[in-house]
Amino acid sequence: MYYPRSFLKLILLGFLLASVPLAYALWEMASALDRLAEGSRAAVLNSAHASQASRQLLEQMTALERLVRQYMVLEDPGLLEDYARVRQEFLNTTRQLAPLGFDAVARAEIQHMVTREAALYGELSVTLAQDPNAVAQFIERYAGLTDMARSVLVAANALAEREISGLQKTAAQGGEKSLLLAIAAGVVALLVALVFSFLIARPIRQLDQAIRQLGRADFGHPVQVEGPEDMRYLGQRLEWLRVRLADLEEQQNRFLRHISHELKTPLTAIREGAELLRDRVGGELSKEQDEVVRIVRENSLQLQKLIEDLLHYHQTRAMEPHSVGPVALGEVIRRVLREHKLAAFAKGVTLEARLRPVELAADAEKLRVVVDNLLSNAIKYSPPGGAVHIELGVVGKEAVLDVVDQGPGVRSEEAERIFESFFQGKTPAEGRVKGSGLGLAIAREYVLAHGGSVGVVANTDRARKGAHFRVVLPLGETPSKLAQPAAAT
């Protein structure tokens, strides 16, 4: 498909091509108006000339009849000279009427009137010598010519009416033609605009898809942009960026694998040494030495958990294939409860669950991590002898999971920040090993990947302590962004 060299030229070309049918329609309508105006002017002039000439013809014919009557009575030769002069004007007037658009009947009437007047003019000098009856009949014949002149005047009025009717018909036809032309031009302009809208939007849509693809850290699909040269150049730069980001992602993964291996090796030796000393393998320890061994052991455990959380958090942001399918959320929660049963028993915490059967399209492992982080967090902050309540239900088209503990709760000013990476609230945990501040951030990543939400429910009952976390997941189709969770804020 041909594209201009620049995106601006493509827009201008589309505008010009869409304007061509509209401009043609305007030109045609303007030409039609000009033709109608010219025809109107010609019709008005023709009607005016016909009306004026027919009135002159009637006046001249009346004057000829009057001169004949006077000549028959007075026998004055000067009257014949006046007759000849008026007759010449009469003939000139009939010649003016010839091209004015009279119908065939009116033209024949004019020609017949000229012929009869010529014949009467030839008999004028002879008639005077005849008897009075012949004179009276001769004058009657001139009166007939006057009646014919009146019929020509009527024909002139009919001609004016025909011209007006023709103008009205022409105007109506011109209006219909203009309407059809405007509709056709609008349709053609709309089609051209739709075609160029597609041509203009196509590279923009491809660029948008490429940017969204990079935003999802999907570096496995090449960026292809079709269109003008400048848009293709942008696509090439995005492809270069994709390749560069893919290289950086691979370098980051390789670095994390190496650094985790390098950290775990000496950390394992430290933990084993601390465990041997605690088990009195090297002999009995004094009270101070035992305290040092305890500190070393707890800090090594904390460091190991921090490394594992970092690796796990990075995996949630990496572009990896995930298994998405129907998941029985209640079964996932029961499995997590069994895994934490010993930890809760050791601390004297009671786990109370009320689970309604819920099935949704999701990644079972991700949901397991979400429930695991929320439950472990609740057990860690619950006091000895406390209880953790877990409830799963359905509200509308959403699954709702509530995890409530009896710990110190979440400060209102920290309700949003606790989901940030590495943030740890001011309320201390009851456990010995301090957390990394990534558990809730990972849980939020996975929930957002499923198109849901997670947050802290405000405690309106002052007599009740503890934190109340709520997870809301849609029961419909899982969004495509499940393959790449949104970044935590």
In degrees and rounded to multiples of 5, residue 410 shows phi and psi of -115, 130
pTM of the complete model: 0.45
Angle at CA 487, nearest 5°, toward 483 and 489?
A: 155
What are the b/e assignments for 238-275, b being 16+ CB within 10 Å? beeebeeebeeeeeeeeebeeebeeebeebeeebebbe
Strand segments, DSSP code E, in 437-489 are 453-456, 468-474
Per residue in 76-134, pLDDT (tens digit) is: 778 778 888 888 888 888 787 777 777 777 777 778 788 887 777 777 666 555 556 66
**Confidence grade of residue 473 (pLDDT, cut at 50, 70, 90):** very high
Q: Which two tokens stand for residue 290?
A: 């035992």
Residue with tokens 């309106």: 460
d(CA 400, CA 450): 13
CB atoms within 10 A of CB 105: 11
Coil, strand or helix: which one is 325? strand
Dmax (CA) for the chain in angstroms is 181
**Confidence grade of residue 484 (pLDDT, cut at 50, 70, 90):** very low
Closest-CA residue to 440 (of 393, 349, 371, 387)? 371
Which domains are assigned to the chain?
A: 7-198 (1.20.120.1730), 219-320 (1.10.287.130), 322-483 (3.30.565.10)
Per residue in 26-62, pLDDT (tens digit) is: 888 888 788 778 877 777 777 777 787 788 878 888 8
